[in-house]
Amino acid sequence: MLTGLGVDIIEVSRIRKALDRWGERFIKRVFTPEEKRYSMRKAFPEQSLAARFAAKEAVMKALGTGLTGGIAWTDVEIVNNPYGKPEVKLGRKITSLIGEKKVQISLSHTREFAVAFAVLEEAE
């Protein structure tokens, strides 16, 4: 059963500007080491980082939490399964709030935009 829904779109140039201005400080604040490792090996890392940023926003919208109650950007991690499908790993604070619910996501990006869609559903 669907219990939450979230979508987000971001201009890739916003992530490029944040990287240029804040560099590693921005990356450490928003992304996990695995997200950084995955994205930085891409030809255009800002596209991958933008998609993950949009996914984090979409997940927080689906959860209805935002960045409140001590929840950090890194409490939502976007990883890829062995087949390349993006999946969500949630930190302890979030899992304690939502229990056994599951989050499904879909990501896409072009040179200019990244978009993500998240669905929160009851565990089977």
Task: Report pLDDT digits (tens) over 99-123.
Answer: 889 999 999 999 999 999 999 999 7
> What is the spatial distance between Cα 119 and Cα 75, in angstroms, rounded to a whole number?
17
Using 50, 70 and 90 to split pLDDT, how confident is the model at 124?
A: confident
State the total domains in the chain.
1
Tell me, yes or no, if 109 is annotated catalytic: yes
Of the residues 36, 56, 101, 109, which is catalytic? 109
pTM for this one?
0.94
Asked whether 63 and 97 are in contact (CB, 8 A), the reply is yes
| Domain limits for position 60 | 2-121
> What is the spatial distance between Cα 74 and Cα 30, in angstroms, rounded to a whole number?
6
Q: What is the pLDDT of residues 27-56, one digit of tens each?
A: 999 999 999 999 999 999 999 999 999 999
pLDDT the model gives residue 39: 97
Closest of 29, 36, 17 to residue 73, by C-alpha:
29
**CATH code at 72?**
3.90.470.20
Asked whether 7 and 58 are in contact (CB, 8 A), the reply is yes
Per-residue tokens: 108: 């896409």
Of the residues 36, 56, 61, 101, which is catalytic? 61
> What is the spatial distance between Cα 71 and Cα 94, in angstroms, rounded to a whole number?
7
pLDDT the model gives residue 118: 98
